[in-house]
């Protein structure tokens, strides 16, 4: 039996939230704490597990079977000021988020989406039932029909739900002016398929082939977190939460940092200030360039108002990098009370990463509001 387990904090205890139990290695549902949506997926397609975070305690996602699929990315939905980290340990993810203090309350609880690529070898035409925890309600399918959560792996081209899947949206995020080209990538797209982007008017739609549809936006928009849907003439359909995928410029030499996916705040910045790490932790800086132009990010270490060390990082368009400060400043140990000041030639997304090797955690750190 395979199990998707999401651990959700309830008061002081940790409640194990069982999303699905099945004999196959392919997921077919998108999960939130307050609902289950029934979906089907073809072999080689993608699904997104969704869970709402309403506590600072991390959400743990365990994908027990090693052949379940691979994690493609993690993003925050509906909260552009929220950032986070996802520490990936085999098939387990520990996700933590942080929001600015000015946005408290239940309405600001972020939704996390974990995108998982279903393996190509999944047996097509296989159906199995899911056994949710009693706390999880039944759901409805994309047409609004009542259904119990179920696993259905459908062959591409079949006249059935699951014959279509969105695997990527390019670009998946960033600010787009009116007239921008957006490509929806996946499988099972039919001629005359309709593409909708939540809250965005589309000027034109062009079916390229069964794996690609291109649309042109009629208005300017911030694409991050938008719901993108494709509906074929035979009513087979798929939905996808858009997020930016960039090229990693290489992993950190520190294993815990290398295993961490930064979930960046949407808004790029031309400058930022981060406090030096406290005792017992290491500190890293994560940068992502969503812009079509390259950016040079300068990092200065300030102690008592004076610059004691400097480094720079080059970020080509659509790239990201995470580095511990010791990799930026070899042999330099920041003193308590010192700060890192970042300046970018082209605004980039910035995030601090505070790691603890004792418990294997990495906590996201937002930039300070003002320079010291």
Q: CB-hemisphere CA count at 13 Å for 334?
A: 31
Phi/psi of residue 326, nearest 5 degrees: -65, -25
Question: What DSSP element (H or E) covers 359?
Answer: none
pLDDT, tens digit (0-9, with 9 covering 90-100), for 42-96: 777 877 776 666 655 676 665 544 444 677 778 877 677 888 999 988 767 788 8
- Is 345 inside any structural domain? yes
Asked whether residue 12 falls in the same domain as residue 127, the answer is yes
The predicted pLDDT at position 137 comes to: 36
The predicted pLDDT at position 284 comes to: 94
Closest of 286, 372, 339 to residue 98, by C-alpha: 286
Asked whether residue 191 falls in the same domain as residue 147, the answer is no
- Is 246 inside any structural domain? no
- Is 158 inside any structural domain? no
Asked whether residue 7 falls in the same domain as residue 112, the answer is yes
- Is 56 inside any structural domain? yes
Q: Could you say which of 193, 208, 241 is where a domain stops?
A: 241
- Is 370 inside any structural domain? no
Provide the CATH number for the domain around residue 222.
2.60.40
- Is 117 inside any structural domain? yes
3-state DSSP percent of the chain in helix, strand and coil, to 5? 5, 55, 45
Closest of 115, 74, 142, 134 to residue 364, by C-alpha: 74
Q: What is the three-class DSSP state of 258?
A: helix
DSSP category for residue 176: E
The partner residues of 293 in beta bridges, in order of sequence, read none
| Sign for the pseudo-dihedral over CA of 33, 34, 38, 39 | negative
Asked whether residue 226 falls in the same domain as residue 283, the answer is no
The Cα–Cα gap between 99 and 255 comes to 26
337 has pLDDT over 90: no
**Whole-model pTM?**
0.76
The Cα–Cα gap between 365 and 372 comes to 16
Would you say how long the chain is, in residues?
372
Asked whether residue 99 falls in the same domain as residue 46, the answer is yes
Q: Whole-number mean pLDDT of the chain?
A: 74
Asked whether residue 12 falls in the same domain as residue 100, the answer is yes
The predicted pLDDT at position 213 comes to: 97
Closest of 323, 344, 338 to residue 368, by C-alpha: 338
Q: Could you say which of 241, 262, 283 is where a domain stops?
A: 241
Evaluate whether 315 touches 289 at the Cβ level (below 8 Å). Answer: yes
Question: What DSSP element (H or E) covers 28?
Answer: none
Asked whether residue 230 falls in the same domain as residue 304, the answer is no
- Is 145 inside any structural domain? yes
Asked whether residue 56 falls in the same domain as residue 77, the answer is yes
pLDDT, tens digit (0-9, with 9 covering 90-100), for 219-249: 999 888 888 999 999 888 888 889 999 999 9
Q: Could you say which of 153, 186, 203 is where a domain stops?
A: 153
Asked whether residue 149 falls in the same domain as residue 52, the answer is yes
Structural domain including 228 reads 165-241
The predicted pLDDT at position 293 comes to: 93
- Rama region for 125: left / alpha / beta (φ>0; ψ in -120 to 50; rest): left
User: 113 falls in which pLDDT band (50, 70, 90)?
Assistant: confident
Provide the CATH number for the domain around residue 357.
2.60.290.11
Asked whether residue 353 falls in the same domain as residue 234, the answer is no
Those residues with Cβ within 8 angstroms of residue 333's Cβ, 6 or more apart along the chain or in another chain: none
Question: What DSSP element (H or E) covers 325?
Answer: helix 325-328
- Is 159 inside any structural domain? no
The Cα–Cα gap between 40 and 163 comes to 8
Token pair 């950016």 in the structure block, residue:
295
What is the tally of structural domains in the chain? 3
The predicted pLDDT at position 164 comes to: 86
The predicted pLDDT at position 62 comes to: 59
Asked whether residue 261 falls in the same domain as residue 302, the answer is yes
User: 40 falls in which pLDDT band (50, 70, 90)?
Assistant: low
| Mean predicted confidence (pLDDT) in 325-348 | 91
Q: What is the three-class DSSP state of 255?
A: helix
Those residues with Cβ within 8 angstroms of residue 199's Cβ, 6 or more apart along the chain or in another chain: 221, 226
The predicted pLDDT at position 69 comes to: 61
Q: Higher confidence at residue 121 or residue 347? A: 347
pLDDT, tens digit (0-9, with 9 covering 90-100), for 141-169: 333 443 333 333 334 333 334 578 899 99
Q: What is the largest CA-CA distance in the chain?
A: 68
User: 139 falls in which pLDDT band (50, 70, 90)?
Assistant: very low
Spell 133-153 as b/e; 16+ CB within 10 A means b.
eeebeebeebeeeeeebbbbb
The predicted pLDDT at position 57 comes to: 62
The Cα–Cα gap between 224 and 173 comes to 4
Asked whether residue 260 falls in the same domain as residue 302, the answer is yes
């Amino acid at each position: 039996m395979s199990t998707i387990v999401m651990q959700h904090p309830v008061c002081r205890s940790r409640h194990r939230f069982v999303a699905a139990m099945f004999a196959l290695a392919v997921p077919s549902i998108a999960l939130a704490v307050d609902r289950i949506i029934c979906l089907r997926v073809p072999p080689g397609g993608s699904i997104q597990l969704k869970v709402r975070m309403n506590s600072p305690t991390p959400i743990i996602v365990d994908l027990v079977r090693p052949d379940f699929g691979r994690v493609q990315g993690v993003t925050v939905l509906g909260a552009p000021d929220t950032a986070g980290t996802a520490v990936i340990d085999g098939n387990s993810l520990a996700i933590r988020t942080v929001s600015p203090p000015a946005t408290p309350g239940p309405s600001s609880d972020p939704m996390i989406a974990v995108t998982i690529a279903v393996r190509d070898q999944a047996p097509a035409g296989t159906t199995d039932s899911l056994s949710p925890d009693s706390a999880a309600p039944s759901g409805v399918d994309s047409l609004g029909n009542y259904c119990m959560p179920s696993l259905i792996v459908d062959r591409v081209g079949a006249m059935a739900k699951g014959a279509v899947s969105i695997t990527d949206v390019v670009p998946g995020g960033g600010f787009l002016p009116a007239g921008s080209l957006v490509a929806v990538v996946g499988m099972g797209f039919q001629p005359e398929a309709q593409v909708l982007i939540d809250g965005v008017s589309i000027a034109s739609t062009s079916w390229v082939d069964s794996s690609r549809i291109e649309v042109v936006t009629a208005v300017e928009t911030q694409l991050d977190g938008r719901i993108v849907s494709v509906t074929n003439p035979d009513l087979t359909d798929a939905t996808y939460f858009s997020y930016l995928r960039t090229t990693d410029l290489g992993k950190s030499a520190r294993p815990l940092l290398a295993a961490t996916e930064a979930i960046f705040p949407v808004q790029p910045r031309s400058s930022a200030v981060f406090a030096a790490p406290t005792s017992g932790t290491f500190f890293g800086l994560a940068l992502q360039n969503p812009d079509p132009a390259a950016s040079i990010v300068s990092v200065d270490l300030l102690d008592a108002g004076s610059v004691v060390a400097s480094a720079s990082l080059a970020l080509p368009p659509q790239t990201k990098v995470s580095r511990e400060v010791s990799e930026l400043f070899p042999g330099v140990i920041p003193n308590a009370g010192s700060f890192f000041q970042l300046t970018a030639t082209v605004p980039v997304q910035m995030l601090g990463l505070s790691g603890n090797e004792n418990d294997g955690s990495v906590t996201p750190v937002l930039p300070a509001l003002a320079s010291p």
